[in-house]
Structures are given as C-alpha cells and as structure tokens.
C-alpha cells in the first residue's frame, strides 16, 4: 500500500470531529435537498461510457433501459392539445367580454395572457438560439435557420411566425414527439436509438419546464381572475336576471385551464421519472390517478381562492397564506443551491406555486410535505367558504357551493392516498420484487425435493409399471435358466 493510500485510509477511519455548540453553526441548519425539477443532461454525451463499464454517480444520466411506450406518445399529443386549447380559449373569452362592452374584464384576462406569453416567448427564443438556430452555408444569403435534426432545416422567418403565435411549448413538444417516433423507427440500430432517445429527453425536459411556467403564470392566475369575474356577475350582482351565453364559453375555458394546470404538474413529474436512472417510470393508471388527484384538488382550491378574493378579508388572507407557505417550504423543502440568494429565490417561487397547488420540488420523502400543505388548504377552505354566509357576500347558492367544494377536495385527497398507498412506482416495484422472491423461493424448494416427489403422479405411475415389467423380465430369465439346466 502506498503512502497516499495509507493516508486516505487513515482519514476515512478517523473519528468525526466533536460537534460544535454554536447556535448559528451550519450543522444546526435543516437538512437541505437537491432540487429535482431542474434536471440537467450533462452526462448524456457520455452514454457510451456504460458500454465501457464506466458508471457515473449521477441521477440525471440516460437510463440503462431505453423505451418509448404508446402512453408517452399520447402524452406528447395531449400536452400539445391542452396547451393550444388553454391559450386560445382565454383569448376568445377576452374577445367575447370586449364585444359585450365588458372592457375591464377583457383587459384583465388578456393582460395575464400577454404577460405569460411574453415570458414563454423570451424563454423559448433564448433556448432556440442556443440549441437549434445555426448558420447553414448552403442556404442563400446565409439566412438564420433552426435545426430539427441533422437533415431538416426551417428558415428563421418561419420560426418568427412560430413564436408570434406563442407556440414555444408546442415546438419542444413536437420535437419530443418527432424524436420519439424516430426512436421507434430504428429498432435494430442501438446507436441511433440512443441518439434519438437523448434528443427526445432533452426536448421533453424543456417542454415540461415551459409547461410549468405556463401553468403557474397563465393558467392558475387566469382561473382566479375569470372565476372572480363569473362569480361576481352571477352570484353577487343582484341586477342580473340571466346568464349571457358567452359565460358558458368562459366556463369551458376555465375547465380547460384546470385540465392544463393539472396536466402540467403531472407532465413535470412524469418527465423527470422518464429520464432518471434512479426513478421508475409511471404506468398509465398511475398517470391517470395523479391527474385526477390534481384536477379535483385544484378545482376545489380555485373556488376557495375566488370566494376569498371577493370577500373583504382578501388582503389579510393573502399575507397570512404566503407567510404560512413560506415557513412550510423553508422547513420541509429546503433546497441546496449555489448561493443563499438562489435558495431564497427557489423558496419564494415554491411559495407562490403553493398558493395554487402543493408541489414538491426537493428530493426526499413527500408524506409530511403534502400533509402539511393540504392541512393548510383545508383550514383556508373552511375559512373561505364560511365567508359566503356573511351579509356582503351572501348568495342563494352558498350551501350547494360549500358541499361541491368540500366534496371535490376530499375526492382529490382520496385519489392522492390511493396513488401513494397502492400505485406509487416504488410500491409497485416492492410488490413485484416480493412476487419474484416468492417465486424463486418456491422454485428453490421444488428443486430440493426428492426425485420421486418432483415427478408428476402419472410419471410416478409409469415408473412403477416399468419397474414391475423389469422385475417380471428378470424373473422370466431366471425361470429360463432353471429350465435349461
């Protein structure tokens, strides 16, 4: 053993230092976790190292088993459809309000849409310039073009149209869909399958991040704004005698936004499970359960936020909720990042997200995180629904709304418990491992039985007959020998 190795062994075997008694020491801080929503692909270029026996100690490398299932293709198509419906139904809703001289409502709706669209467009353009836009010298006048793969090119002018219609997430989802189909096309070329899987994963990662941004910058605030407009007009405005037809279209727009918001959270969870080697992918029934859990809890939460927003205690509620959510996030989901400023920023972003729906952005167990978050929501739901019975905000439908919101909340919680209790990938994996262990134990026990016990009853009977025939043959030979003598 060399001196360097001896020194390393001595350092490893040395006792840990005595704990300090400084109240503000770093050891007294809560355990911090790695953030799990911003998955990188820094090891994707080294996927051939697996064949060389090199295994990186990382969770964000390409999985050992590559597969693209039908449910993955369906998820890409469904994500594109829900994004388009969510965006353009909001625009049409704003146009209907403007056509009926409800300009304040129209400006509020279109303002949120424009703000979120600008953020998505700027992010998409930045990513495209760094990953897809290239100079291609065979194109006349050296026009800027973007590259979908090594063969297909589209001019920069067409990309401007793409961005003009706020189709940034569609671009990345289409890339993921395209590369998924190419992956399935080359069944007998492992090198091409790895290449297309890597490209699909990168596009899926970017699309899931854009969907999360769109979900909590556009869909969630839009639901509250449109909900307040509809609730005030239908339930609180005593001068109205009927519901205009365009409000039914607004109800459809809100329904689509809830689907888009719920699906955005599910897609984020599915995405990082899809390309992390230490995670199990989601099966279709698990995706459906997670979507139903999010849909019903978000439906209930939006109603609560709308009811509280029209109440006189709205401002006090917002401040109290942000304070409680920040404490919850800081204590149960502290993330480890480069600087304290980045950690504080991540905590604030997660706090705003928790305003609409609980979301786990840190590695580690989720039980107490979701239990705390939904306990806060339950308390706020009871408080908010009781404001409907106050004189200023009382309406004739208070009791049916109360029952509907509470029922929706507990139905969503029921789906969540069902998912984590019986259908979580870890539970599924443990169940399959137990079944395999039992089968292997039965096979081992079967192999240790005597030879006669392992035989089928018919085989045992045939063996007995053959023994009897052999005995009779030997007896006949003995008799013949006696007769000859």
Q: What number of helices (H) and strands (E) belong to the chain?
A: 16, 3
Residue-level pLDDT at 142:
47
- pLDDT single digits (tens) 238-280: 666 677 788 889 999 999 999 999 999 998 888 878 777 777 8
Distance CA 102, CA 93 (A): 11
- Name the stretches of the chain with pLDDT < 70: 1-31, 34-64, 131-156, 158, 238-241, 392-394, 446, 448-471, 475-485
The number of beta carbons lying within 10 Å of the beta carbon of residue 99 is 10
Distance CA 429, CA 451 (A): 35
Distance CA 61, CA 414 (A): 34
Joined tokens for residue 481? 């020998």
Sign of the alpha-carbon dihedral angle for 468, 471, 475, 481:
positive
Please answer whether residues 209 and 173 qualify as being in contact, where contact means their C-beta atoms are separated by less than 8 angstroms.
no
- pLDDT single digits (tens) 394-422: 677 888 999 999 999 999 999 999 999 99
The candidate with the shortest Cα–Cα distance to 304, out of 372, 415, 386, 238, is 386
Q: Which residues of 26-39 are buried (b: 16+ CB within 10 A; e: fewer)?
A: eeeeeeebebbbeb
Distance CA 393, CA 386 (A): 10
Joined tokens for residue 5? 């190795």
The string of DSSP codes covering 304-342 is HHHHHHTSTTHHHHHHHHHHHHHHHHHHH--B--SSHHH
The three-class DSSP label of residue 7 is helix
Sign of the alpha-carbon dihedral angle for 204, 206, 212, 214:
negative
- pLDDT single digits (tens) 105-158: 999 999 999 998 888 888 888 887 776 665 444 444 445 555 554 545 456 676
Q: What are phi and psi of 133, to 5 degrees?
A: -85, 125
Please answer whether residues 148 and 132 qualify as being in contact, where contact means their C-beta atoms are separated by less than 8 angstroms.
yes
Distance CA 166, CA 321 (A): 32
Residue-level pLDDT at 62:
60
C-alpha count within 13 angstroms, C-beta hemisphere, residue 258? 20
- In this structure, the chain runs to a length of 485
């Amino acid at each position: 053993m060399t001196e360097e190795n001896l020194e390393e062994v001595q350092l490893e075997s040395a006792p840990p230092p005595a704990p300090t008694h400084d109240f503000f020491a770093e050891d007294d801080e809560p355990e911090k976790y790695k953030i799990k929503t911003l998955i990188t692909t820094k090891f994707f270029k080294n996927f051939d190292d697996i064949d060389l026996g090199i295994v990186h100690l990382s969770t964000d490398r390409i999985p050992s088993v590559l597969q693209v299932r039908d449910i993955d293709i369906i998820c890409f198509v469904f994500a594109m459809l829900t994004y388009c419906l969510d965006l353009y139904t909001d625009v049409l809703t704003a146009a209907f309000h403007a056509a009926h001289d409800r300009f304040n409502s129209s400006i509020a709706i279109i303002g949120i849409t424009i703000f979120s669209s600008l953020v998505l467009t700027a992010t998409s353009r930045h990513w495209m310039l760094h990953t897809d836009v290239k100079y291609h010298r065979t194109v006349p006048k050296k026009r800027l073009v973007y590259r979908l793969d090594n063969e297909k090119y589209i001019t920069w002018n067409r990309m401007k149209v793409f961005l003009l219609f706020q189709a940034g997430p569609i671009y990345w989802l289409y890339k993921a869909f395209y590369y998924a189909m190419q992956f399935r096309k080359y069944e007998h070329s492992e090198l091409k399958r790895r290449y297309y899987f890597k490209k699909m994963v990168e596009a899926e990662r970017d699309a899931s991040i854009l969907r999360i941004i769109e979900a909590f910058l556009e869909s969630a605030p839009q639901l509250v704004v449109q909900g307040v407009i509809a609730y005030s007009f239908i339930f609180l405005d005593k001068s109205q005698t009927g519901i205009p037809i365009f409000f039914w279209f607004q109800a459809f727009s809100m329904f689509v936004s809830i689907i888009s918001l719920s699906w955005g959270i599910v897609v984020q969870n599915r995405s990082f499970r899809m390309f992390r080697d230490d995670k199990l992918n989601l099966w279709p029934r698990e995706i459906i359960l997670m979507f139903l859990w999010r849909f019903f809890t978000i439906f209930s939460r939006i109603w609560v936020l709308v009811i509280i927003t029209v109440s006189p205690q709205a401002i006090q509620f917002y401040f109290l909720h942000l304070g409680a959510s920040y404490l919850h996030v800081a204590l149960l989901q502290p993330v480890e990042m480069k600087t304290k400023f980045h950690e504080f920023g991540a905590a604030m972003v997660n706090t705003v997200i928790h305003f609409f729906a609980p979301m786990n952005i840190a590695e580690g167990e989720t039980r107490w995180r979701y239990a705390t978050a939904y306990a806060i929501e339950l308390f706020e739901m009871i408080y908010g629904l009781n404001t409907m019975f106050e004189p200023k905000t009382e309406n004739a439908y208070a009791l049916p709304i109360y029952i509907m919101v509470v029922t929706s909340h507990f139905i969503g919680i029921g789906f969540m418990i069902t998912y984590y209790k019986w259908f979580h990938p870890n539970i599924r994996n443990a169940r399959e491992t137990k079944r395999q262990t039992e089968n292997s134990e039965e096979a081992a026990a079967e192999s240790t039985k005597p030879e006669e016990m392992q035989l089928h009853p018919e085989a045992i009977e045939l063996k007995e007959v053959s023994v009897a025939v052999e005995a009779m043959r030997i007896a006949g030979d003995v008799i013949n020998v006696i007769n000859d003598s």
